[in-house]
Amino acid sequence: MQELSLAEKIAALFVKHITRPGKYGDGGNLYLQVRKSTRNIPSDAVTKSWLFRYSRFGKEVWMGLGPYPDISLSEARQLATRERKKILQGVDPLTDKRTRKIAARVAHDNMLTFAECAELYVESQAPGWSNPKHIEQWHSTLKNLAGPTIGHLPVDQVDTALVTRCLEPLWTTKTETASRLRGRIEAVLDWATVRGYRKGDNPARWRGHLDKLLPRPSQVARVRHHPALPYTEVGAFMQELRDGAGIASRALEFTILTAARTNEVIQANWSEFDLDRRTWVVPAGRMKSKREHRVPLSDAAVMVLTAARGHSKRYVFPGHKRGSHLSNMAMMQVLKRLDRTGITVHGFRSTFRDWCAESTNYPSDVAEMALAHTLRDKTEAAYRRGDLFEKRARLMADWANYCSKPSEPAKVVAIRQGAG
């Protein structure tokens, strides 16, 4: 450390022009520290900062007061005076500085805005969501529909009046969107409460609260289901579909025969199939339920797979780009070409379910497992350990047989021997 004599006490001009590295005392525990710049542009560049020196428990302590010239000599002297007074009052300057920083950080955390909480909530939940698109959808809904009203506000200031202000413009015109928005606001506020950013009841909760202010969604909008083809028409449709060429047509045929979801089919890998055992095992990561699903394959489904061999080493239904799978819109385009714009691909699962209920004697849980639905009765789900594979195999064979007979009048299909 280099300390100047009293005659050479630091003056404003000296502080401005000194470039030799070292610590220069101004008196009253105040020092100017000059150091070589780490940027090396130019090579003789230096940085300057103010330090306050004092003794704590017999050891020398250096505490930063800020950079020069952001803090002038006169300002640095005032800061040094403030720190000396703390010492006289028995307050340790460095400990006090750290305490104030922590207090400021806590104060900021406790004043997170709704938008910040929404961002943190989505970030915390995203790893558990099966579809990456959910992340974008959550961000979009909360930013565009809730953000203009409550996004900028501290999360602890969001009340019932503000929540209803977000919901009311949409409640009677876009009820499904508004209901989804309410649920997402509720989830963010619940998260904020658990994290300690707000207190009290959730102003976005429905039961016992908003249900007293807004009409039930079912009263203002009909629930929209995926438009489905009547099962009595599926045979004629399948004949029309089989007359068409193309990978997308075969993918749709396979989707109908297996009653699978679109993403399960278009991302299907050859490694998932055992054609000798007529089994397709969809991995848990691609299932909505996050559980592995075994699919029994009918003769018709195996024929589709056999015809698809050779298109790709990886994907059963490859896309146009090398190494990619079929687009999730490709099967919808097939329906469009067949002039079937009034139905959806997902709707064929409803077609299958209706056929099971109205034209067969198969138990409902067999049909539900064929659709990879989670049993609603948790007690029954816990009791039932198997996946009813053999029964489902018979069901899917009967379904494939029904799909191959166009314009056949509806009739009840008896359960085969041993299916009970």
State pLDDT tens for residues 74-95.
899 999 999 999 989 988 888 8
**CA 234, 236, 242, 246 torsion-angle sign:** negative
Q: Where in the chain is the domain with CATH 1.10.443.10?
A: 231-403
CA–CA distance, 348 with 295 (Å, rounded to integer): 16
One-letter amino acid at 396 equals M
Check residue 43 and give its pLDDT: 62
- 172 pLDDT higher than 90: no
| Tokens linked to 420 | 């009970």
Beta bridge partners of 281: 294
pLDDT digits (tens, 9 = 90+) for 293-333: 999 999 999 999 999 888 888 999 999 888 889 998 999 99
Minimum mean pLDDT range among 5-14, 89-98, 227-236? 5-14
Homologous superfamily assigned to 6-90: Integrase, DNA-binding domain (3.30.160.390)
Query: What confidence score (pLDDT) does residue 378 get?
Result: 46
Nearest-angstrom CA–CA distance, 257 and 280:
13
Residue 225 has pLDDT above 80, yes or no: no
Is residue 5 predicted with pLDDT exceeding 70?
A: no
Please give the Cα distance from 35 to 29 (Å, whole number): 19
Residue 341 CB-density burial (10 A; 0-12 exposed, 13-18 middle, 19+ buried): exposed
Range in 30-44, 125-139, 219-233, 401-415 the model is least confident about: 401-415
102 residue type, one letter: I
Domain with CATH 1.10.150.130 in the chain: 114-220
Using omega within 30 degrees of 0 as the cis cutoff, is the peptide bond preceding 42 cis? yes
Question: Whole-angstrom Cα distance, residue 251 to residue 263?
Answer: 11
Is the per-residue pLDDT at 142 higher than 80? yes
Tell me the per-residue pLDDT of 365-393, one tens digit each, with 9 for 90 and over.
898 899 988 754 444 444 344 668 899 99
Check whether 284 has a pLDDT greater than 50: yes
In the chain, ranges of CATH 3.30.160.390 domains: 6-90
Are 320 and 420 in contact by the 8 Å Cβ rule? The answer is no
Instruction: Give the pLDDT confidence score for residue 147 in this predicted structure.
Output: 93
Q: Phi/psi of residue 52, each to 5°?
A: -115, 125
Q: What is the pLDDT of residue 106?
A: 64
Task: Beginning with the edge strand found earlier in the chain, give each strand of the sheet holding 30-36 in spatial order.
Answer: 22-27, 30-36, 46-56, 59-68
Q: What are phi and psi of 282, to 5 degrees?
A: -85, 120
Distance CA 10, CA 5 (A): 9
Instruction: Please state the rounded mean pLDDT for residues 168-189.
Output: 91
CB 22 within 8 A of CB 1: yes
Lowest mean pLDDT among 58-67, 101-110, 306-315: 101-110
Q: What is the Cα 8 distance to its own chain's centre?
A: 64
pLDDT-derived band at 118, boundaries 50, 70, 90: very high
Instruction: Name the fold adopted by 231-403.
Output: hpI Integrase; Chain A (1.10.443)
Structure token pair of residue 113: 């805005």
Name the more confident of 27 and 418.
27
| C-beta separation of 336 from 252 below 8 A | no
pLDDT number for residue 380: 44
- What pLDDT was estimated at residue 398? 95
The per-residue pLDDT for 407 is: 54
| Band of pLDDT at residue 126, cut at 50, 70 and 90 | confident
Question: What average pLDDT does the segment 28-45 reach?
Answer: 79
Lowest mean pLDDT among 22-26, 148-152, 287-291, 395-399: 287-291
CB atoms within 10 A of CB 167: 23
Q: What fold, for 114-220?
A: DNA polymerase; domain 1 (1.10.150)
Average pLDDT, the chain: 84
**Beta-strand relationship, 46-56 and 59-68:** antiparallel
SS3 state at 59:
strand
Amino acid at 408: E
pLDDT tens digits along 242-273: 988 899 999 999 999 999 999 999 999 999 99
Q: Cα–Cα distance between 220 and 20 in angstroms, integer?
A: 78
> pLDDT category, 52, cuts 50, 70, 90?
very high
